[in-house]
Structure 1
């Protein structure tokens, strides 16, 4: 006996799930979204940038709901648009994390999405490749939800794997996964002074209507000048440690530099251990910043509410996005959107970040087939757990691509539910036409 039923069930309320549920509901589907945390918005609520809307050559390829979010945040004061940077990316899109959380909540409410927070899928029921229902753990016990189509936006492919999908976890040869991190949120800072002290290239500068001067909103650097202090106090596992800063404010900044290696984000004990270690690490980093780095001396510091996981499972899909697809900027006949953020790999052993650029025109397509697990009929996967190599995943895992995939998955799931179609059999041209009507950029589609 199913206690809830719907057309489309979205599992995961991060940026991918928010876009997916919004798109499905806008398509006329009765939509339920479930999320383990007590809020929606995922990693964007920590204040991380929405990488990346614009290719290295200056051409915007990410639109649709992803752009709508930025436009609405600008009006709220929680974003400053796409700001030229000129370092490893053409531009950056910083946002305020709390305002992103507010807007995500508003988007879902506006479209009539039923949101179930504090909920986790603990099992699935299947019949010859069709998911017939899921069991969800909530306060008070287990609830059952039945849908016509399912969107796995969990980040870890929880639903697809529970239903029998094959997957790869981490690097295919070593099994190692990129480290997990926790963003440090700093208030009462002098961001101009921080940038003058530590930036290794010209910061991205933006203006706000409520502040008289341009402010640095994104820059990166290293802590090399404090290597002796870092080594003595064991603040980081390596010297010359890289650090990334972003903000939309003159006196509040997010610091992305922590890392814990050897963590399996699908193991609750492992992830809990990482959260404890990261919280302590963040405290040490905050004390180091306050005592040594100009601009932080009057600041106070808050760790993000959760650890950010970069890499766990990736499904075995009808197609796997390859290293070559990324390095050549490949385009696909069944594209549902484009990725233009470069491959961003944080070394599993040291935490150091290395960036590899996308080839050709600076963007590659997301093929619909990479979002469909083999041997399953009524589920689509969106976000960082789609079918891709570990290298390609370094680009697809980022938030702008996840917003694109989320919107595409939401439209696809709603169409499949309405037409009573299996996800692998969905008419791609109808899906693409619908996406383009909604402003999703599919590039110059190819015929293969």
Structure 2
């Protein structure tokens, strides 16, 4: 057994962890990031959209590293910017998954982050709510990594819970969690034909420097036309099954429609079984698309390499973001960024997606307190496992707010490490000032308010 030391340790290399580690290192902290997969970038590497930068009223509220990544991806050919859609969201931000993975790798390397891939957290050393080290399984044995400040961007609150944080899972009344899914990548497609056949509203259209004619980059629909075939062949368990498509290419499209219900993403056996079932689903869906849906007749298909988990643990934080906070579009004095994607709930029993608008101006604040667990004082939790209700999680779990939380957590952890102070001792106004300097807040997106709960 041997040890490593750093200022900030980031657990999890998904979108949240990439932003967190990049921000911490850019702010002068010696930073280590550990990730269980053999790559960084998380769910964005599947090609899912970075929902959502712009409110229903057309005001952009997500900036910072999140916007920097979009700008760089546009230059790389891996994004087309924020494209108006005008249905359940004002706009969408599709990205190429593989180029997102490349960019994430570059950002971390440029910032000087030490990245440990294929590494799994197996426990923590803690004393009276203070983490002394994180035990990580790597090839050759167990390594203990010690830091001055920790960021839990694991998605499952693995480190915070191991160190003593309380948590809840699933719906408050039933305990059920949203289904897990897998994205199907389709190549050699005619995206306009697909949109003409299946879209329920006008698609989001974009151009590229190498393709000046507008083409569909995002649309959603249902498979209602093929209900009989779907039920007869057990493609999906229900009629009128919903499907979401996105891309940045005219001849390649991502299909988001699969689901396995009743899975606890913190149970490795259950998640492994779900991955097997989803991989099998991907083949059935691909054959159905190729045989029946216009635009797919010449396509070939590649399932994503892993299952996407929407919901597991949520910590008990110093503040819990409530249903009403979303519905009212509430603002907070300790805001570190905003969420503007609707509350997105995939039914735990059917997998069907339902959207609920955010109130007021279409955005609500993420209070820093929701990222700080009770009873553990030197870790920041960022990403889908922050302190929220199950309903509010439907908005906060999306990737644009996760990038915002990651950057804010990275700046906060770097400040705490530099000053040798606990996370609970941070000067929030000083943190907000740093975030404003570094582009997380622009214009009036940071507001002092008097109606926030305490």
Asked if the contact 2:149–2:378 (Cα under 8 Å) also holds between the matched residues in 1, the reply is: yes
Question: By how many angstroms is 1:373 displaced?
Answer: 0.3
Distance apart, 1:126 and its partner CA: 0.6
Matches within 5 A, 1:18-33: 18-33=18-33
Once the two structures are superposed, residues 162-188 of structure 1 have per-residue CA deviations (whole angstroms, 9 ceiling, x without a partner) of 001000011121110000000000000
Q: Distance in 1 between matches of 2:3 and 2:424?
A: 28
1:410 aligns with 2:410: yes
Structure 2: give runs of 5+ residues left out of the alignment.
Answer: none
Deviation at 1:103, TM superposition (A): 0.1
Task: Kindly indicate whether the alpha-carbon contact (under 8 Å) linking 2:179 and 2:346 is maintained by their aligned counterparts in 1.
Answer: yes
Alignment partner, residue 9 of structure 2: 9
- Displacement of 1:2 in angstroms is 5.2
- Residue 291 of structure 1 aligns with which residue? 291
Does residue 372 of structure 2 align to residue 372 of structure 1?
yes
Q: How does 1:269-284 map to 2 (within 5 A)?
A: 269-284=269-284
How many angstroms apart in 2 are the aligned matches of 1:445 and 1:248?
Answer: 38
1:72 equivalent in structure 2: 72
TM-aligned CA deviation for residue 445 of structure 1:
2.5
Answer yes or no: is the 8 Å Cα contact 1:61–1:443 preserved in 2: no
| Residue 439 (1) aligns with residue 439 (2) | yes
CA contact (8 A) 1:2 1:146 kept: no
**In 2: Cα distance, 1:70 partner to 1:357 partner:** 25
How far apart are 1:211 and its partner, in Å?
Answer: 1.0
Residue 251 (structure 1) aligned with residue 251 (structure 2)? yes
Matches within 5 A, 1:316-331: 316-331=316-331
Aligned to 2:199: 199
2:306 aligned with 1:303: no
Instruction: Give 1:152's aligned residue.
Output: 152
Q: 1:73-112 to 2 correspondence within 5 Å?
A: 73-112=73-112
Deviation at 1:273, TM superposition (A): 0.4
Aligned partner of residue 7 in structure 1, secondary structure: strand
Provide the rounded CA distance (Å) in 1 between the counterparts of 2:133 and 2:449. Answer: 37
Task: Tell me which residue corresponds to 1:37.
Answer: 37
Moved over 3 A (4+): none
TM-score w.r.t. the length of structure 2 is: 0.98
| Structure 2 match to 1:118 | 118
What is the number of residues matched between the two proteins?
Answer: 448
- CA distance in 1: counterparts of 2:368 and 2:183, whole angstroms: 32
Which residue of the partner structure matches residue 131 of structure 2? 131
Q: Give the 3-state SS of the residue equivalent to 1:305 in structure 2.
A: coil
Output the CA distance in 2 between the equivalents of 1:4 and 1:172.
39
| Partner of residue 51, structure 2 | 51
1:222 paired residue number: 222
How far is 1:424 from its partner?
1.1
The answer to whether the 8 Å contact 2:176/2:262 transfers is: yes
CA distance in 2, matches of 1:216, 1:436: 35
Deviations 1:352-394 (A, max 9, x none): 0000000000000000000000011100000000000000000
Q: Which residue of 1 aligns with 2:355?
A: 355
What is the deviation of 1:198?
0.4
SS in 2 for 1:416: helix
CA contact 1:29–1:414 (8 Å) conserved in 2: yes
TM (normalized to structure 1)?
0.99
Q: Deviations over 1:277-320 (max 9, x none)?
A: 00000100000000000000000000001000000000000000
